[in-house]
Amino acid sequence: MIIQTLIVDDEAPARRELRTLLDDHPRFAICGEAADAWAAGELVASRRPALVFLDIELPGLGGISWFKSLPGPRPHVIFTTAYSEFAVHAFELDALDYLVKPIHPARLEAALQRFIRTQTAAGGNGAPVSAGLEEPLAIDSRVFVREGERCWYVPVSRIRLLEAAGNYTRLLFDEDRPLLLSSLTALERRLPPEIFIRANRSQIINLRFIETIGEWFSGSIKVVLKGGGEVEFSRRQAQLFRERMSL
């Protein structure tokens, strides 16, 4: 199935770069390009694209405001911009992804695969669904985190510790500790195993944040993490840790 795709960006070099990247994905056929919200609206109405690559910083009416103004059902959208601080607003609109320029081919590939999974889950009818909830994360991935009114767009590599809190999980990064509505086991399945390891039944740590390691009781070990926190490994996990980290 050919997927009609629209590119909306006020910078011609950016449109050209994205068009070149999409050449490697012939399933996504570019049905039009627009440099402003007015032209984009005309193309959405006439071409009815299934997917829009949308620059956030359009002249006049910005990309986010324009997308909000579209009558339903709206196409799926992947936002593009040179600035990551707009990510929270983008994901509040159920964006499939958020690509920071210059766009890396691997990140584009991941975004397009997310669209395909979304279409498959929706039976191919283009209905929006929650996408990527079970998708494995890479070391260079970012995750959208929300707790109450606060939101973050966090690089996975900056997460130093995850702690079980009943059926929820507390995420520790920088100075923040939001509580997620997901179990530790569910999150563990998504975390990149190259840098994360379970320490015990209730904690998973980022190996890159280990500052010191000390022997503890009954063959266990205790580690101190950069940025704060001490974590005791269970005996079984301590043995797995030694096997994994030894020469």
Domains of the chain, CATH where assigned? 3-121 (3.40.50.2300), 155-245 (2.40.50.1020)
Question: Quick one: pLDDT at residue 5?
Answer: 97
What percent of the chain lies above the pLDDT cut of 70? 88
pLDDT attached to residue 88? 54
Predicted confidence (pLDDT) at residue 215 exceeds the cutoff of 60: yes
- Among residues 78, 65, 92, the alpha carbon closest in space to that of 25 is found at 78
pLDDT, residue 123, reads 54
Measured CA to CA, the distance from residue 163 to residue 183 in angstroms comes to 9
User: What contacts 148, CB < 8 A, 6 or more positions away?
Assistant: none
pLDDT tier, 131 (very low <50, low <70, confident <90, very high otherwise)? very low
Mean pLDDT for the stretch of residues 173-180: 91
pTM of the predicted protein model? 0.56
Residue 86: φ, ψ to 5°: -85, 0
Confidence of residue 105 (pLDDT cuts 50, 70, 90): very high
Determine the pLDDT at residue 247: 57
pLDDT at 190 over 50: yes
CB 45 within 8 Å of CB 37:
no
pLDDT tops 80 at residue 122: no
Where does the pLDDT of residue 110 fall: very low under 50, low under 70, confident under 90, or very high at 90 and above? confident
